[in-house]
Amino acid sequence: MFLILLVIFIALVFTYINGFHDTANSIATVVSTKVLTPRQAVLLAAFTNLIGAFFGTAVAATIASGLVDAQVATMPVLCCALLAAIVWSLLTWWFGLPSSSSHALVGGLCGAVLAASGKWSSIIWSIPDQEHWWKSKGILWKVIVPMISSPLVGFVVGFLFMGLLYFLLRNWRPVTVNRTFGKLQLLSAGYMGFAHGTNDAQKTMGIITLALVVATKTGLLLSAPGWLGWLQTPEGTPAGYLPPVAWVVAHLPVWLQFGYEPPKLDPKAQFIPVWITVLCALTMCAGTAAGGWRIIKTLGHKMVKLHPVHGFAAEATGATVLFTAAHFGMPVSTTHAITTSIMGVGCAKGFNALKLGVVERILWAWVLTLPASAAAAYALVYLARSFGWL
């Protein structure tokens, strides 16, 4: 029982760190363009992150049941995976590098499971769906493909969107552009925070759910006191279950539902208990409120000089990439989405606007995140087994 509670605690620590680590990604542009002060931007991001966390659980279901063999993911293994992700996130935060907390978590999970089982088959590499590719499962479809495609999409769309804005605003006076997009950037920054909540908050929800599903299947929760019976989490989706947003709408008067229909849930898909959603959402909100000035400085000041119109284009692009990925259950990196969007917007100004030295450091952090966190988790499991803890 202690190990189960320890996994939940470490997962919440990771969520808190993810909040202040990735907050910088969602508010860097609105701070660097001086539309909002850092304090105002952090409060906006915290609020929109909290709201976004309640919209959808597809990413959480992917983490909980679509990446590794649940039978291998014991409580000590999950602890090692989370600790490796935490170490990498803190290390990159200290050096001001906008690395991906998402990929650190996935890398840690894969490295820990591989070390525990000694078999590559314990990692779900690919389960294609012949009819709908977006329903395919496994590391390939849910992590590797989005890891490559989302930065490319962010860069290209950011470049084209900024080019379109340059064309449409070519006759506007600079002062009018700055005044107009200074106001519009409030919306795009809120949209970015909301999209961040729909994607990142769900990753830890998935880890906690995975731990509870394993504990329920293996009987670990049988020794728990009766008042902790709510921790038992069955595999799949119970009949009649409603996600938080659908539950709230269902209890509104009919005239306020505006024809809303609850989503059709797959009974084989893993559901995420509401208490986990609420707990992770509030924890990420608290972490977001702590801010992350080191990464804000890198993204908003060192990489490219931004004005409100550039910030609007970058945030709108990055948020759309994140929101679309969350809809399909892909744990995409907020870092990759917004950073490449900023790069694309910067290149629309002129390729010499980018500071390539900073870009190179960021790219190295991206490349190293998955293998580094996997190696750290592998080493932690190895040490735990050497000391007889596994």
Please count the residues of the chain.
390
Higher per-residue pLDDT: 308 or 42 = 308
At residue 296 the predicted structure's pLDDT band, cuts being 50, 70 and 90, is low
Percent of residues, the chain, with pLDDT higher than 90: 17
Given a cut of 70, whether residue 358 has pLDDT beyond it is no
Six-digit token string for 372: 């580094």
pLDDT of 81 strictly over 90: yes
Please tell me the pTM assigned to this model: 0.82
Q: What is the mean pLDDT of residues 165-169?
A: 92
Mean model confidence pLDDT for the chain: 81
Q: What is the pLDDT of residue 355?
A: 67
pLDDT, tens digit, 9 for 90 and up, residues 14-65 = 988 887 776 666 677 777 777 887 778 778 888 888 888 887 677 877 887 7
Extended beta strands in the chain, E state: none
pLDDT bucket at 374, cuts 50 / 70 / 90: very high
Higher pLDDT, 364 or 284: 284
Residue 310: pLDDT band with limits 50, 70, 90? confident
CA distance 223 to 228: 10
Express each pLDDT in 337-347 by its tens digit.
888 888 888 88
For residues 183-198, average pLDDT: 88
Distance CA 99, CA 72 (A): 28
pLDDT of residue 26: 66
The percent of residues above 70 in pLDDT, for the chain, comes to 86
Bigger pLDDT: 362 vs 60: 60
Nearest-angstrom CA–CA distance, 27 and 311: 10
Radius of gyration in angstroms for the set of CA atoms belonging to the chain, rounded to a whole number: 21
Cβ atoms 97, 297 nearer than 8 A: no
72 CB-near residues (< 8 Å, 6+ apart): 113, 116, 117, 122
Ordered by start, the domain boundaries in the chain are 2-239+267-386
User: How much is the average pLDDT of 357-382?
Assistant: 83
